[in-house]
Chain A
Amino acid sequence: MNTPLKALDEMIRLTSPFPESVTVKDWKATGRKVIGWFNPYIPEEIIHAAGMLPFEVTGDNEPVQTQGAEAYIYSNSCSKIRTCWQMQLDGKYNFLDGYVSSSMCDQDKRLFSLWKYYKKLPYMEILYAPRKRDEEAVQLYLADLEDFRNRFSEYRLSRIPDRDIANSIKVYNRGRELMYELYELRKRDRPPVTGTETLEVTKAAARMPRERFNELMEQLLGEIQSTGREIKKARRLMVIGSDLHNANQMAALEALDAVVVVDEMDIGIRRAWGQVDTQLPPMEALARYYVLGRPVDKHNWISDGRLEFIGDMAEQYKVDGILSEDVRFCTYNGWDKFDLKKQMEKRGIPILQIDLEYGHLAGAQVKIRADAFLEMLESRAS
């Protein structure tokens, strides 16, 4: 049994209860604003530079019954969207002063529209999330970012200066660097943290002031160093597909004789990946990073890079198998399934594809399939 990580416990304490946590309450108590953001094409740095708390709108470790939301969003849509809308209906997000989203997917757009129509917040913004990864896409996105910055500056009644954005970039870069270090440690034969613990870390990154997060990350890495923590499990897994915020889902998987050593989630490795170029003008640097600086994601049209990245990470982290957990009704994951399987087969990496509902614990069917998958991995190894 490994000793609990004090820094992680503190992250969890500060971000609980979810979503209106200790941190959010303390922040609001000082009269400062909280801006919800929804998908990875929203540069938190701009919100941070405006002196507000960027807070990722998601579900969490408790499954949410979405019957109320289904009066607005039919059941043939993504359960993450329904979960978030249900939480809004239940008043859980009443602390938000604003909400920023992007056109990353059809359902994100629809959630934004619902929010704007039925529960308009003082500040609301939707950006374009480019599907291509080229210079034109950078310029297109940059123009949207500049508009965002202008409108957001009007909202806070003063221009957000370049200097403050540059400073926020440094703070966020440091956070990325620290999370990346944690990911690197997981390459060890016996990784020091579980996938469940890592997920709690990366979730906390988007729910608390990044300066405090960075301090706790430094403490966390120090603890790992000093305690010589090791997770002893027979199989190493990679989890890919949809963003799953319910850490209990991953914990259920790790209750088997396996540890998740890497992922391919927007809320996971992508959050730790790369650095915003501090030599460029800050807005341009942000645009370049958000369009080109992270691994290809599921919403990019040309998904070759995504499939390659998954394969490369699987090899670098020496995984025994990949678990693709796809929230039902995700169009993007749907179209990658066939080629993903073929490409991983070509690389000799076993892959299990599971469709599930966002936020809900893996049911018996999923457990049976995961169990059988691990058995298959074991027989391959022996």
Chain B
Amino acid sequence: MSTSNLITAEELAGAIKMAGEGIKKKPGLMKSTARSMELVHKYVERIVTAKDKGKWVATHGTQQPLEIYEAMDVVGLFIEFWGVISDVVKLESVPEALSISASTGTPGEVCSFFRNMDGLMHAGKWPHTDFMLYATSSCDNVKAYYTLGRRYGIPSFGLERPYLPYTPKAMEHWKNEHKRLIAFLEEQTGKKLDYDRLKEAVRLSYRLTELSLEIDKLARHVPCPLSAECFGGVLIALRLMPGTQEAVDFLTALRDELQERVDNGIGAVKNERFRVLWSCFTPFWDPTLLGYMQQKYGAVSVGEVLANWRGEAKWMLDPEDPLGNLAYKTQLAPGNCQYASSEDWAENVVDQARRLKADGAIFNNNWGCKQASGMGTLVRDELLRNCSVPSVTLNVDVIDSTFVTRAEIESQLDSFFEMIETSKVYKERRNLQ
């Protein structure tokens, strides 16, 4: 079985650095594009150099309190991101890792974020990991952390999150789970958590939340100032490096650039014809698709549900109680709706669609995602019922570029945008009648 296309952490770091340099020379892109690549480079570099710097690496899933990691010299390695960035740098890596995973007997129907890790671990190409950390949210695949940890001798810890998290008992339980995580990390690292460091990380993380909400407000402008090349910027900062000054600096710069563009009436495209909401995943499997949509249809991606905060997200309840704040943060955090009812997911999408003035929604029915496959119709119906926003479902694998052809996607998008443009609702919304 070939392993020649599998990308290592070192190769990723080098390729991202080069890409970042290349972007700086490319005209017409938002300035923040290069900064986002610098942030990603920093992230990967931290993983590569962790051991030399006396730090630990935790391979982890979604909804993790990364601020605790930050305060304990634990460097996070978010498995979903690893597949996403592999696609940006070398599209052949993920399919090869998936084949290796299949060769071990892991069925092709489970999530490819996890199968990518499975394949890379089997081939010895996954970055060195000291422990695996996970939580009930978001999905059943988190079982893989313990399973792979057992297989490769990596200790693991899971935070158990109640399904309905808003009762006082549930909140208390969730906060206690954070304490158990700290106890686990203290045991593994032999270091005590410095609560002052944690408070500072939580403060920075809250600032990041505020900035991302400011950016959300700016993205509501018509035309939308946020261009495809920076679409993932907020998600990168929020999901990879909360609790760091670097992430705050990046979002501050992005916010300022967007404000400047709004002030000067600059949109992502000259003629914004459609505002698109991604109602289930960003199309990570094809890093060029967003740009193509902008160019071909004048379709600007204005938001994606997994980057959506609930309401005003005021999760800093008491600066002196960092764990309480973090526990509450999870309830409001982007992606939290993944571990909730379909109606809750739909409510988040509807909120976003209204706020961001979406003309259409694209639902990626990610092959390995059982959360998605059971709710596409309900989300579609809620969008239509509440704000007359039509949806299209793309049958894809979120990171496997070989799962569906680009031609097939383009053909579906052609029909979708044509359908929107001729609809009465669209014409009314755009005052075209």
A binds B: yes
Query: Which A positions have Cβ atoms within 8 angstroms of B?
Result: 71-78, 81, 102-103, 105-107, 109-114, 116-118, 126-128, 130-132, 136-137, 139-140, 143-144, 147, 299, 301-304, 326, 328-329, 331-332, 334-339, 341, 353, 355
Check A334 against B170 for contact (C-beta < 8 Å): no
Residues of chain B within 8 A of A136, CB atoms compared:
160, 173, 176-177, 180
Query: Complex: how many Å from CA A74 to CA B139?
Result: 17
Query: Complex: how many Å from CA A19 to CA B170?
Result: 36
Tell which of A76, A143, A335 touches B144, judged by Cβ atoms closer than 8 Å.
A335
Tell me the nearest residue of chain A to B158, going by C-beta.
A301
- 23 examples of A-B residue contacts, CB within 8 angstroms: A71-B377, A74-B393, A74-B395, A103-B163, A105-B140, A110-B370, A110-B374, A111-B374, A114-B342, A139-B173, A143-B167, A143-B169, A299-B140, A301-B134, A328-B107, A329-B370, A331-B110, A332-B143, A334-B109, A335-B106, A335-B144, A336-B147, A355-B107
Check A335 against B147 for contact (C-beta < 8 Å): yes
Query: Complex: how many Å from CA A137 to CA B297?
Result: 51
Residues of chain A within 8 A of B150, CB atoms compared:
304, 339
Check B106 against A337 for contact (C-beta < 8 Å): yes
Residues of chain B within 8 A of A110, CB atoms compared:
342, 370-371, 373-375
Residues of chain B within 8 A of A107, CB atoms compared:
370, 373-374
Name A's interface SS.
Answer: helix
Query: Complex: how many Å from CA A329 to CA B140?
Result: 11
Interface size class of B (residues with CB under 8 A): 35 or more
Check A143 against B170 for contact (C-beta < 8 Å): yes
Check A332 against B374 for contact (C-beta < 8 Å): no
Tell me the nearest residue of chain B to A326, going by C-beta.
B107
Tell which of B107, B343, B376 touches A117, judged by Cβ atoms closer than 8 Å.
B343
Residues of chain A within 8 A of B109, CB atoms compared:
76, 328-329, 334
Tell which of A78, A302, A337 touches B107, judged by Cβ atoms closer than 8 Å.
A337
Residues of chain B within 8 A of A304, CB atoms compared:
150
B99 on interface, CB distance cutoff 8 Å:
no
Residues of chain A within 8 A of B26, CB atoms compared:
none
Check A117 against B378 for contact (C-beta < 8 Å): yes
B142 on interface, CB distance cutoff 8 Å:
yes
Check B146 against A303 for contact (C-beta < 8 Å): yes
**B118-156 interface bits toward A, Cβ cutoff 8 Å, 1 = contact, 0 = none:** 000000000000000010100111111111001100000
Check B342 against A117 for contact (C-beta < 8 Å): yes
Tell me the nearest residue of chain B to A78, going by C-beta.
B370
Query: Complex: how many Å from CA A173 to CA B29?
Result: 69
B232 on interface, CB distance cutoff 8 Å:
no
Tell which of B104, B105, B173, B371 touches A106, judged by Cβ atoms closer than 8 Å.
B371
Check B341 against A113 for contact (C-beta < 8 Å): yes
Check A334 against B378 for contact (C-beta < 8 Å): no
Check A339 against B147 for contact (C-beta < 8 Å): yes
Question: Smallest distance from the beta carbon of A52 to chain B beta carbons, Å?
Answer: 23
Tell me the nearest residue of chain A to B393, going by C-beta.
A74
Residues of chain A within 8 A of B377, CB atoms compared:
71-73
Residues of chain A within 8 A of B107, CB atoms compared:
326, 328, 334, 337, 355
B183 on interface, CB distance cutoff 8 Å:
no
Check A334 against B110 for contact (C-beta < 8 Å): yes
Question: Smallest distance from the beta carbon of B159 to chain A beta carbons, Å?
Answer: 10
B244 on interface, CB distance cutoff 8 Å:
no
Query: Complex: how many Å from CA A147 to CA B150?
Result: 36
Check B341 against A112 for contact (C-beta < 8 Å): yes
Check A131 against B158 for contact (C-beta < 8 Å): yes
Residues of chain B within 8 A of A118, CB atoms compared:
378
Check A140 against B162 for contact (C-beta < 8 Å): yes
**B371-386 interface bits toward A, Cβ cutoff 8 Å, 1 = contact, 0 = none:** 1111111100000000
Query: Complex: how many Å from CA A259 to CA B372?
Result: 39
Query: Complex: how many Å from CA A369 to CA B12?
Result: 43
Query: Complex: how many Å from CA A355 to CA B107?
Result: 9
B367 on interface, CB distance cutoff 8 Å:
yes
Tell which of B164, B176, B374 touches A128, judged by Cβ atoms closer than 8 Å.
B164
Contacting A at CB under 8 A, from B232-264, are none
Check A338 against B105 for contact (C-beta < 8 Å): yes
B365 on interface, CB distance cutoff 8 Å:
yes
Tell me the nearest residue of chain B to A355, going by C-beta.
B107
Check A131 against B343 for contact (C-beta < 8 Å): no
Residues of chain A within 8 A of B204, CB atoms compared:
none
Check B143 against A331 for contact (C-beta < 8 Å): yes
Query: Complex: how many Å from CA A62 to CA B370?
Result: 25
Query: Complex: how many Å from CA A332 to CA B147?
Result: 11
Query: Sorted from nearest, which 4 A-B pairs have the closest CB atoms?
Result: A110-B374, A113-B342, A331-B140, A77-B373
Residues of chain A within 8 A of B143, CB atoms compared:
131, 299, 301, 303, 331-332, 335
Check B146 against A302 for contact (C-beta < 8 Å): yes
Tell which of B134, B151, B341, B343 touches A338, judged by Cβ atoms closer than 8 Å.
B151
Question: Smallest distance from the beta carbon of A222 to chain B beta carbons, Å?
Answer: 43
Query: Complex: how many Å from CA A328 to CA B370?
Result: 12
Query: Complex: how many Å from CA A198 to CA B164?
Result: 37
Tell me the nearest residue of chain B to A137, going by C-beta.
B160
Question: Smallest distance from the beta carbon of A242 to chain B beta carbons, Å?
Answer: 12
B353 on interface, CB distance cutoff 8 Å:
no
Check B341 against A109 for contact (C-beta < 8 Å): yes
Question: Smallest distance from the beta carbon of A64 to chain B beta carbons, Å?
Answer: 17
Residues of chain B within 8 A of A116, CB atoms compared:
341, 343
Question: Smallest distance from the beta carbon of A323 to chain B beta carbons, Å?
Answer: 16
Query: Complex: how many Å from CA A71 to CA B167?
Result: 35
**B346-386 interface bits toward A, Cβ cutoff 8 Å, 1 = contact, 0 = none:** 00000000000000000001011011111111100000000
Tell me the nearest residue of chain B to A81, going by C-beta.
B374
Residues of chain A within 8 A of B139, CB atoms compared:
106, 331
Question: Smallest distance from the beta carbon of A284 to chain B beta carbons, Å?
Answer: 15
B306 on interface, CB distance cutoff 8 Å:
no
Given contacts A107-B373, A131-B158, list 6 more A-B pairs with CB under 8 A: A76-B368, A110-B374, A140-B160, A299-B140, A335-B106, A339-B147
